[in-house]
Amino acid sequence: MIGPARRSTTTRRSTPRADRLAGCWCLPGAICQTPRAWWSQARRDGDDETGMRRKGAEMCWMCDHPEATAEEYLDEVYGIMLMHGWAVQHVECERRPFAYTVGLTRRGLPELVVTGLSPRRGQRLLNIAARRALVGDLLTPGMQTTLPAGPLVETVQVTHPDAHLYCAIAIFGDKVTALQLVWADRRGRWPWAADFDEGRGTQPVLGMRATRRSA
């Protein structure tokens, strides 16, 4: 087992710009459980933030700490990574949300990415796959597998991790590689098929498919 490493500004290659850390960047245990649309409607109904929280809504760390710096946020991510082995970073966009792990690089493994899923579904899928990877059940490009309580997925090598995995790049630099868990729809169709059912969102594929393998 690799022991904890101290994160410092001297070991990181780059730091995300503060505007890239704006919005909903969520951490395990502090996930945004309610869509932005709900918050917008609650505000239109006249609820203040305290009232919304009484109704059970929960905001992400950056929402709760609007004056925090990118460096402070990365410290939070790093602490979760050391405690649990990885953190899950969710990036909320209206129709193209995505999430990725931060920490598998430290074990010599590719980080994992999903696109087009809700925070809860994305976090659950990544956590399952990360646990499997850490016990030696590795994913490779082109592999198809069904994760427990999850959809059929095919792994795709992410072409440009630095364009998407801002927190991982900030901590580990250009050592970061990534695999996307591309999920099939309920009929087993893939996003590269014309009849793929995307549901409410879209699922961008962040790399080129490899020769398919089955797990």
**90 within a domain of the structure (yes/no):** yes
- Give the chain's domain count: 1
pLDDT at residue 198, rounded to an integer: 66
pLDDT at residue 165, rounded to an integer: 93
Helix, strand and coil percent figures for the chain, each rounded to 5? 35, 15, 50
**42 within a domain of the structure (yes/no):** no
**81 within a domain of the structure (yes/no):** yes
**2 within a domain of the structure (yes/no):** no
**C-alpha span between 117 and 125 (Å, rounded):** 10
**C-alpha span between 75 and 173 (Å, rounded):** 15
Distance of CA 11 to the CA centre of its chain: 23
**214 within a domain of the structure (yes/no):** no
pLDDT at residue 214, rounded to an integer: 57
SS (H, E, C) 90-144: EECCCCCCEEEEECHHHHCCCEEEEECCCHHHHHHHHHHHHHHHHCCCCCCCCEE
Annotate 99-115 with b (16+ C-beta within 10 A) or e (fewer).
bbbbbbbbeebbbbbbb
**50 within a domain of the structure (yes/no):** no
Answer whether 146's CB lies under 8 Å from 158's CB: no
Give the structural domain span for 189: 18-30+67-209
**88 within a domain of the structure (yes/no):** yes
**100 within a domain of the structure (yes/no):** yes
Answer whether 203's CB lies under 8 Å from 180's CB: no
Q: What is the pLDDT along the chain (215 residues), one digit of tens a residue?
A: 233 333 443 344 344 433 344 334 444 333 333 334 444 445 555 555 555 444 444 456 666 777 878 788 888 889 889 988 999 988 876 567 899 999 999 999 999 999 988 888 899 999 999 999 999 998 999 999 998 878 899 999 999 999 999 899 999 999 999 999 999 988 888 998 888 876 655 889 999 998 766 55
pLDDT at residue 113, rounded to an integer: 97
Kind of pairing, strands 87-91 and 143-146? unpaired
Q: Which residue, chain included where needed, has tokens 């933030």?
A: 49
Beta strands in the chain, from DSSP E residues, in sequence order: 25-26, 87-91, 98-102, 111-115, 143-146, 152-157, 178-183, 213-214
Nearest to 166 by CA among 6, 2, 23: 23
Angle at CA of residue 93, ends 89 and 98, nearest 5°: 40
